[in-house]
């Protein structure tokens, strides 16, 4: 029973004292990475021949439009970390798409 109470106290301590230290910048950076990663599994499955269906065009366009808007926001705010993260993601996705379409 003391283990449960200790675990609950640890969770409470984490939520009230440490969770607020996770900044909005970190969450935004993780959102950028997860948006880039949304199409990567389907691109790699297509490249390796596991499937012959590419991701839908509307999904890719919406993700790229969102990332483009976040990129311009980062440029206006001079947020170098997000500029680099989104820029590298665009380069990697464009490279994978070129490998798929021009192989």
Nearest partner of 82 among 91, 93, 70, 90, judged by Cα: 70
- For residues 21 and 95, which has the higher predicted lDDT (pLDDT)? 95
How many CA atoms are closer than 13 Å to the CA of 84, on its beta-carbon side?
Answer: 3
Kindly list the distances between the CA atom of residue 50 and the CA atoms of 40, 54, 77, in Å, as whole numbers in the listed order: 14, 11, 41
How would you label 12-38 residue by residue, b for 16+ Cβ within 10 Å and e otherwise?
eeeeeeeeeeeeeeeebbeebeebbeb
Token pair listed for 60: 């890719």
pTM, full prediction = 0.64
In the predicted model, what is the mean pLDDT of residues 44-69? 84
The proportion of the chain whose per-residue pLDDT surpasses 70, expressed as a percent, equals 97
Number of residues written out for the chain = 103
pLDDT value at position 20?
67
Token pair listed for 70: 């976040």
**What's the pLDDT tens digit per position in 6-48?**
888 888 888 787 776 677 778 888 888 888 888 888 888 888 8
């Amino acid at each position: 029973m003391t283990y449960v109470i200790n675990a609950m106290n640890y969770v409470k301590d984490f939520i009230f004292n440490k969770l607020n230290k996770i900044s909005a910048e970190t969450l935004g950076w993780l959102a950028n990475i997860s948006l880039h990663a949304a199409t990567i599994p389907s691109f790699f499955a297509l490249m390796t021949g596991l499937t012959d269906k590419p991701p839908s065009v509307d999904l890719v366009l919406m993700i790229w439009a969102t990332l483009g808007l976040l990129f311009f926001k980062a440029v206006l705010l001079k947020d170098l970390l997000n500029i680099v993260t989104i820029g590298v993601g665009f380069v990697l996705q464009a490279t994978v798409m070129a490998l798929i379409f021009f192989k």
